[in-house]
Amino acid sequence: MEPKGLPAFLKNEPSCLSAEAVKLAAYHLGRHVRSIERERAART
């Protein structure tokens, strides 16, 4: 699947997670991404 097609694909899929579960996943994913960015910045 092309990355550009992901939003349309997700729009057509049934919802399986509660809004609270989505917020929690987004929070932890954001923390993970920021930690990787900090690691990369520390190496340079």
Domain assignments of the chain as residue spans, ordered by start: 16-44
pLDDT of 1 reads: 80
* DSSP secondary structure code for residue 32 in this structure: H
pLDDT along the chain (44 residues), means of 10: 91 90 96 95 90
C-alpha to C-alpha distances, 34 to 13, 37, 41, 44, nearest whole angstrom? 29, 5, 10, 16
Q: Which residues contact residue 9 at a Cβ distance below 8 angstroms, ignoring those fewer than 6 apart?
A: 1
Q: Which two tokens stand for residue 37?
A: 């960015």
C-alpha to C-alpha distances, 22 to 6, 16, 19, 29, 37, nearest whole angstrom? 16, 10, 5, 10, 22
